[in-house]
Amino acid sequence: MWRKYAILAVSALVLASAPLEVAGQGGCASVIARRDIKSLSGAERNEFFEGVRRLQEEPRPNRYDRFAYIHLQATFEAHHNAKFLPWHRQLTYQFELALIDATRNPNFRVPYWDWSKDSQAPAQSIIFSDSWFGGNGRPGDSCITTGRFASWKPMYREGSEPECLSRQFNSGDSISPFSTTDDIARLLEISSFVDFSKEFEDVAHAQVHNNIGAGFMKMASPNDPLFWVHHSFVDKVWAHWQSRGDRMLAYNGANSDGSPARPEDPLHMLGGTVGSVMDFRRLCYTYDDLGSARMSRRSTGDGGLGGLLGLGNGGGGKHGDGAQAAAKGIKSRVVTLAEDELLPSADDHAELFQLRDIKPLSEEYIRKCGGNVTRTREYEAKTREFHRQINKMPDYISPSALINRKDLLQRLTAERSTFTATRGRKRCVLETPGGAASPSVLDSLIKTATLSLSLSVDLLLGGGSRQGGLTSLVPLVGQKGADYIKAAYAS
């Protein structure tokens, strides 16, 4: 089957070997922030989608096709070795340059999708809505039929893939969890580049490809425009890691042939070297919540439970008043769990507070790009144990928890009538009558859960003084979360 790509691709070789802008050369007129796609205006998002469409409408094989072709051909050079992050940085940067050209907007930057925030109920994300990227593939061939790119016919495909964009959510109509904001915060604590890169690639990055499935877990996945907002976020996490302490040029590990990784190593089929992309600011971009590009947007911590319940201004602790409002239309009972029930299953989309277990990656996906199954299983076990630790913390709730994601919860309440909220060994089971999606029922649901479990709201996210060394964690999980994560990671 590999041969087929080569035959299909003869004319693309011309494109692929055309001179590329040398990364990092010359000064930038301005270093512009890549932004969270959810924070873009409708017009800005449309500019991205239209730019992609223009690239896709060029004569075949066109500039859009070229990216899938390169990714497919560079599979073993670009994955499961030290070059994974720099190679994908260069690929995404070159895509950005193509879009700057297609949109005729020199200030265009590829937005990112922070999937860690959608991690607990990914299929509910607005990302998969009809006016964005579209949702799950249809039964049979897994071709998507919704979204802005449903009619796109990719030219380069892996093996016997159908001539369409395909996705096959790994839990049927839903997607099992991705790595959480806490997992990302923990990754940022890893001091060695190679250890950070391996674990990030093997779990957090891989879960997104694998769980969305079908074409998105194949090596021609840049065909799906979702690839770019995913990899822009992967790059953002690396940029955050680099921006801590003295890590901007940190690079070590091994190349695909086993030789020691060095900054002068070339980036296969893309041009440039590892060293030419290490400092992303020389590629004229940064991220909206990094350093001087900081923009006026609310921090993750503001979305915490305190804000949601309106308890930030001295309203905490007045449980008596809330209890009455909470009781309306909701039945609750509290049960005690066994130790091994503390981690909700990957397919549990009803738990309000607890982080879910992740599903093991499929062996097919791991082997396809040269991964190590044993090592992946070790990382998965580590993630599972970390989630157990987080879930056991009596007064910490992850920013990824559904209780902090009213938007996702709203969609879920339209689908189901039973929710659970677990703290320690106590689980509160909440039953709502049908059609529970109204905001007042949702609020009641959250308050009932909170009151039943006697949560201490003032210990939640967003508060506390900042201390040196914890600053990278704080924007992600709040001071309290940062302290817990450090303690959990050290143990």
Ligand X SMILES: *[C@@H]1O[C@H](CO)[C@@H](O)[C@H](O)[C@H]1NC(C)=O
**DSSP β-bridge partners for residue 33:** 286
Q: How far is the CB of 377 from ligand X (least distance, A)?
A: 9
- CA pseudo-torsion sign 243, 247, 249, 251: negative
Rank residues 375 and 411 by Cβ distance to ligand X and give the closer one: 375
Tell me the sheet residues that pair with 335.
Answer: 427
CB of 374 to ligand X, least distance (A): 4
Strand 418-423 versus strand 331-336 pairing type: unpaired
The least CB distance from residue 361 to ligand X, in Å, is 14
For ligand X, give the closer residue by CB, 375 or 426. Answer: 375
**Residue 481 is which amino acid?**
G
d(CA 224, CA 369): 18
Give least dist CB 366 to ligand X, A.
11
Task: Kindly tell me which of 375 and 486 has the beta carbon lying closer to ligand X.
Answer: 375
How many CB atoms lie under 10 A from the CB of residue 192? 12
Pairing mode of beta strands 32-34, 285-287: parallel
Closer of 374 and 465 to ligand X (Cβ):
374
Rounded least distance, CB 370 to ligand X, Å: 10
- DSSP 8-class letter at 201: I
> Whose Cβ is closer to ligand X: residue 282's or residue 375's?
375
Nearer to ligand X, 377 or 392 (CB): 377
Burial 51-79 (b: 16+ CB within 10 A, else e): bbebbbeeeebbbbbbbbbbbbbbbebbb
Q: Which amino acid is at 179?
A: S
Whole-number Å distance between alpha carbons of 64 and 56: 5
Bridge partners of residue 334, in order along the sequence: 428
Helices (H), 250-312: 274-277, 305-309
Q: What are 322's two structure tokens?
A: 């809330």
**In this complex, which beta carbon is closest to ligand X, that of residue 41 or of residue 374?**
374
As measured in angstroms, the least distance from the Cβ of 467 to ligand X is 34
Rounded least distance, CB 81 to ligand X, Å: 11
User: At its nearest, how many Å lie between ligand X and the CB of residue 77?
Assistant: 17
Given the rule CB under 6 A, which residues bind ligand X? 372, 374-375, 378
CA distance 238 to 93: 14
Which residues lie below 8 Å from residue 94, measured CB to CB, with a gap of 6+?
A: 20, 21, 67, 270
Cβ nearer to ligand X, comparing 187 with 284: 187
8 Å CB contact between 408 and 121: yes
Cα gap 328→441, rounded to integer Å: 8
- Nearest distance in Å: CB 376, ligand X: 8
- Identify the residue whose tokens are 């929710």: 419
SS3 track for 70-114: HHHHCHHHHCCCCCHHHHHHHHHHHHHHHHHHHHCCCCCCCCECC
Tell me the closest approach of the beta carbon of residue 375 to ligand X, in angstroms: 4
Q: Would you say 378 or 415 has its CB closer to ligand X?
A: 378
CB of 83 to ligand X, least distance (A): 16
Q: Which is nearer to ligand X, 80 or 209 (CB)?
A: 80
Nearer to ligand X, 253 or 316 (CB): 253
Q: Tally Cβ neighbours within 10 Å of residue 30.
A: 9
- State in angstroms the smallest separation of the CB of 390 from ligand X: 24
Find all residues with CB under 8 Å of 410, minimum gap 6, and list them.
Answer: 437, 439, 442
Question: CA–CA separation, 219 vs 226, rounded Å?
Answer: 14
- Six-digit token string for 394: 């009596």
Beta bridge partners of 171: 174
> Between 313 and 374, whose beta carbon lies closer to ligand X?
374
Chain centroid offset of residue 325 CA:
36
